[in-house]
Homo-oligomer: A and B are copies of this chain.
Amino acid sequence: MKNIMIAQSGGPTAAINTSLAGLLDAAFESDQVGEVYGGIHGIQGIIEGNVISLTERLKGKKDKLDKLYYTPDMYLRTCRYKLKKPEDDSTDYEKVLETFKKYDIDIFLYIGGNDSMDTVARMSEFVKARGEDIKVVGVPKTVDNDLVEIDHTPGFGSAAKYVATSVREIMLDTCIYPYANVAIVEIMGRDAGWLTAAASLSAPDGCSARPLVYLPESAFDEDKFIEKVNEGIKSHGYVVVAVSEGIRDKDGNYISASETKLDKFGHPQLSGTGSVLVSLVKERIGCKVRGIELATAQRSAGHCASATDLAESFKLGQNACRYALEGKTGVMACLKRTSNKPYETEFSAADVLNIANKVKGVPAEWIDEENAFVTQEMIDYLTPLIQGETEVTYKNGLPDYLFEEV
């Protein structure tokens, strides 16, 4: 019988617990699996020995597992902890191995994004080098949709559905005034504009206006921006702008540069891009303008999750567990799109070394820079991912999410 350790890492999504539910589904169903443990706060918790029994908490508890499926954020909590190279300092790796030995772990399943896949790669190499028969498999997640190899990441479709829905509602909220009115919506996405691109789906039927869409993959030009906003005001009286937090000018400087700080991984932490554009419109056009930051809602809005996203996230979880049980290691559960219309996908395992620390941006040919929009290819890519509404159980008027203290 094989014992399993699961942990979650990085920023939350609406689908990361769905993948956990998928992992648990496959693990609890399998007659090869003994105990299933959860590391609290990702790899950092495993280093510190912060472990709970998921078998005890969740096995056979259909009611809880059903809720876990649609509960956003992270049942096992998170960390943002970067392992050093083992050749430089192997202390953390030794501690992880100690925890694994304590619980007699045969399989380690890690749900996370780019940085977490780096952890999967390193842990998998480390245990192999130490001659330990421990399989390490990753499950992808990130609202940024910036992982390579996989067609799109779990959590992205739900975030995209929330962004497209919200920007549609913001359009309805912005078009109603008897004077020029501009709304600037700042959307997550440091280096990749996928989530911002979802705003291209927002215009409701019957509406001749569409949002202006600015992605970090395309150099931001202040004059052209003001020109587009003026054009929109002239033709419709209102303009909604969807802008990625990470937009840069032609020299690569962040538009929100004055407020740039680096996070622990050396990534710039941006905020205020929307405010900069609000000030620009105020100064150069002088009309009414409002800044809206979609903030954490875009990654945590379980009440608005994409059914397609959650179904895929669940299956990727199931698959990851099965890959590990089949003896695979150093891989990530992956999916490829084989057809757009009808939407069809194929699931497989991908070598995590091809994924860790790489970033997939929006291809230049999917950006319609001239019109501050995206091309039909992008719309065809995005549309299937937001299909279907998730059946969330409501209790007393609110989504009945699974919450447990740890």
Interface residues of A (CB under 8 A from B): 12, 41, 44-45, 71-74, 77-79, 161, 164-166, 168-170, 172-173, 175-178, 183, 201-202, 204-208, 290, 292-293, 295-297, 299-304, 306, 383, 386-389, 394-405
- Whether A292 lies near B292 (C-beta < 8 A) is no
- Whether A296 lies near B170 (C-beta < 8 A) is yes
> Of residues A44, A173, A201, A302, which shows the largest number of chain B Cβ atoms within 10 Å of its Cβ?
A173
- Whether B169 lies near A303 (C-beta < 8 A) is yes
> Of residues A164, A170, A176, A404, which shows the largest number of chain B Cβ atoms within 10 Å of its Cβ?
A176
- Whether A300 lies near B401 (C-beta < 8 A) is no
Give the distance to chain B from A271, nearest Cβ to Cβ, in Å.
9
Q: How far is the CA of A74 from the CA of B394 in the complex (A)?
A: 28
- Whether B403 lies near A172 (C-beta < 8 A) is yes
- Whether B205 lies near A164 (C-beta < 8 A) is no
Q: A166-B301, A169-B297, A169-B302 are in contact. List 10 more A-B contacts (CB 8 A).
A: A73-B173, A168-B401, A172-B401, A172-B403, A204-B402, A206-B404, A290-B295, A306-B397, A386-B396, A388-B397
* CB-based nearest B residue for A299: B173
- Whether B74 lies near A176 (C-beta < 8 A) is yes
> Of residues A164, A204, A394, which shows the largest number of chain B Cβ atoms within 10 Å of its Cβ?
A204
- Whether B72 lies near A169 (C-beta < 8 A) is yes
> Of residues A45, A71, A72, A303, which shows the largest number of chain B Cβ atoms within 10 Å of its Cβ?
A303
